[in-house]
Amino acid sequence: MTASRAPPATSGLLSEAGSTAQASSGTAGRTSMRATSSVVVAAAPPPTTAPRTIAPPTTAAPAAPSSCNIKGNIAADGEKIYHLPGDRYYDRTEISPEKGERYFCTEADAVAAGWRHAKV
């Protein structure tokens, strides 16, 4: 014999752990407790990375011929300075032909063009 019952009345009680305990009144005056846990679902925050910018294409400095490896650099103040292989800033110096910088094959060529040797 099957009896149809109405759903038990429940009241939510907050426990110290933050979950809700459900008290339900069953038949014969018994009260039972069952624990249910709550899960909070939140949307992910928007990305915090800065938008990417695309740099315009650059033209690489022309490779120096093996015999023309003296770098002619123009300083911010307009001074023309040449760097020899082994000089302190030789490896760091980049040649930008669009700024008038260039490679020289000999020190004599650099001096004749009005460039001076790097001081350091």
Residues 59-89 pLDDT 10s: 555 666 668 999 999 999 999 999 999 999 9
**112: pLDDT confidence band, cut at 50, 70 and 90?**
very high
pTM higher than 0.75, yes or no? no
* pLDDT above 50 (res 45): yes
Residue 101 is predicted with a pLDDT of 97
Q: Nearest CA to 65 among 100, 105, 106?
A: 105
Residue 13 makes CB contacts below 8 A (sequence gap 6+) with 20, 21, 22, 23
